[in-house]
Structure 1
Amino acid sequence: MRILLPPSEGKSRPRRGRPWTAHELSFPELDEFRHAVHRELAAVSARADALELLGVGASLADEVAANTSLAQAPAARAAQVYTGVLYEALGATELGGTALRRLRESCIVISAAFGAVRLSDRIPAYRLSMGTALPELGRLSAAWRDVLTPVLDAECAGHLLVDCRSADYRAAWPAPKGRTVEVQVLTRAGGRTKVVTHMAKKARGELTRHLCERPAPLPKTPVALLAAASERWEAELDAPRSGTPGQLRLFV
């Protein structure tokens, strides 16, 4: 099983530690394009219109300025750098033993700055979203797609894919539909079913932790995934088909 995660917009900036280096991260085949993205990001972040180009407000000016020196910035494990609702619920830094090993092996974070990383990889904090269009590279979800596709196709071959990503990050690598189950989070109130938005991230983080912590093996089929999720939530499954990803619905 492979669990596909988005990064978080919010990040904890490491105060110390050596910078990230080429060939140190998972998927070193991506290093050349990682450097290309960082070079353009540094140039854009130094411009007077950087905030507008990166689609952020004035309160994030310091984070944008830090994009100009990612090569020298202290790095820490992605599990420590990524914060926010999903990663707080996941609580990766609290895990050990089998749960931590499973987390490191199964989780892949799709990143606008690094393409794909594992939670044990050391990265700096950065400010960049996959929906951003850089002047030379264009929209990053499209720019990354050709680079990520052969790498992740090989990494994920034969695995059940549990997709917790948002639309822009799914666009950067469209996972094989026949083996992918997307996670939806819903609530029932007053006889009506509603899609949960912000707090869906919490449930996806909790699901990831639950799958790694439970004593049974990681699910290898959509039916086994449904059974695992049903240990904690009311859950429903539409199984994937050749042209359509599956849907795991969690009711919170």
Structure 2
Amino acid sequence: MLILLPPSEGKRAAAAGEPFEYHGLSFPDLAADRSLVLAALAEASAGPDAHVVLGVGQSLAAEVAHNRTLRAEPSAPAHDVYTGVLYEALGYHGLAAAQQQRARASIVVVSALWGAVGFADRIPAYRLSMSVALPGLGKLASWWKPRLAAPLGERAAGHLVVDCRSSTYAAAFAPDPARTVSVNVFQVRGGVRKVVSHFAKHTRGELARHLLVRGGGEPGTPGELLAAAQEKWTAELVPGTARTAHRLNIVLDG
């Protein structure tokens, strides 16, 4: 099983520790690409219109400034750096040791800066979204797509891919649709299904946690994933096509 997660917008900076090392990150073939994005981000973050380029408010000026010194900033495991609703619901530090090991082995975070990182990879906190177009590189989802195809395709081979990414990050890598299930979350309000971002993120985090802690082994097919989800939620599986992944729809009561 491979669980694909998006990063969080907010990140927890490490208070101390060594800077990240390229050779310490998963998918080492991406090292040169990561260096290009890092350099482009540092240059953009130093410009007078940095907040416009990065799509953030002036209140985040300190985080933008840190983008200029990421090679020297302290690093921490990705599961500590990424925060927010999804990661709080996943609750890595509340898992048993064996479950944490399973999380580190199963989870990959698709990132605008790193391309993709393992859950235990040591990285600094940064501010960059996959929707950003960096000068010299263009929109990052499009820039990363051909570069992620081989390393992530190899990592996903032979595994069921549980895709918990938002559409912005899903655009950067498309796994084999026959073995991929994208996770959608709906809340019923007034008898109508609606997508509510907060609940979608939270439920995707809960699903990831459920798959890590449940007994009975990891799901290996879309049908087995549906059965696992139905242990906790009302859920349905929409079969995929030759070009589109299966869809797991989790329906929450209003």
How would you bin the TM-score normalised by the shorter chain? over 0.9
Distance (whole Å) between structure 2 residues aligned to residue 139 and residue 194 of structure 1: 29
Match of 2:53 in 1: 53
1:128 aligns with 2:95: no
Q: CA deviation at 1:196?
A: 2.5
AA aligned to 2:86 is L
Q: CA deviation at 1:63?
A: 0.2
Distance (whole Å) between structure 2 residues aligned to residue 245 and residue 189 of structure 1: 27
1:153 aligns with 2:153: yes
**Is this contact kept in 2: 1:25–1:117, CA < 8 A?**
yes
Higher mean C-alpha deviation, range 57-66 or range 196-205: 196-205
Distance (whole Å) between structure 2 residues aligned to residue 185 and residue 248 of structure 1: 8
Match of 1:141 in 2: 141
Distance (whole Å) between structure 1 residues aligned to residue 193 and residue 9 of structure 2: 28
**Is this contact kept in 2: 1:43–1:68, CA < 8 A?**
yes
Q: What is the DSSP-based 3-state SS (H/G/I as helix, E as strand, rest coil) of the residue aligned with 1:23?
A: helix
Match of 2:62 in 1: 62
CA RMSD of aligned residues (A): 1.0
AA aligned to 2:100 is L
Q: CA deviation at 1:97?
A: 2.6
Distance (whole Å) between structure 1 residues aligned to residue 191 and residue 14 of structure 2: 47
- Unaligned segments of structure 1, at least 5 residues: none
Q: What is the DSSP-based 3-state SS (H/G/I as helix, E as strand, rest coil) of the residue aligned with 2:250?
A: strand
Deviation beyond 6 Å, 4+ runs, structure 1: none
Match of 1:219 in 2: 219
Q: CA deviation at 1:199?
A: 1.7
Q: CA deviation at 1:105?
A: 1.1
AA aligned to 1:100 is Q
Q: What is the DSSP-based 3-state SS (H/G/I as helix, E as strand, rest coil) of the residue aligned with 2:241?
A: coil
Q: CA deviation at 1:241?
A: 2.9
Q: CA deviation at 1:177?
A: 1.5
Match of 1:111 in 2: 111
Distance (whole Å) between structure 2 residues aligned to residue 29 and residue 250 of structure 1: 36
Q: 1:178-210 CA deviation, whole Å, 9 max, x = no partner?
A: 211111111223322222222210000000000
Matched pairs, number: 252
Q: What is the DSSP-based 3-state SS (H/G/I as helix, E as strand, rest coil) of the residue aligned with 2:237?
A: strand
Distance (whole Å) between structure 2 residues aligned to residue 219 and residue 101 of structure 1: 17
AA aligned to 1:205 is G
Match of 1:73 in 2: 73
**Is this contact kept in 2: 1:3–1:163, CA < 8 A?**
yes
Match of 2:88 in 1: 88
Distance (whole Å) between structure 1 residues aligned to residue 48 and residue 61 of structure 2: 11
Distance (whole Å) between structure 1 residues aligned to residue 128 and residue 195 of structure 2: 27
Q: CA deviation at 1:251?
A: 1.4
TM-score by length of structure 2 reads 0.97
Q: CA deviation at 1:96?
A: 2.7
Distance (whole Å) between structure 2 residues aligned to residue 171 and residue 193 of structure 1: 24
Match of 2:174 in 1: 174
Q: What is the DSSP-based 3-state SS (H/G/I as helix, E as strand, rest coil) of the residue aligned with 2:35?
A: helix
- Unaligned segments of structure 2, at least 5 residues: none
Distance (whole Å) between structure 2 residues aligned to residue 5 and residue 169 of structure 1: 9
Match of 1:234 in 2: 234
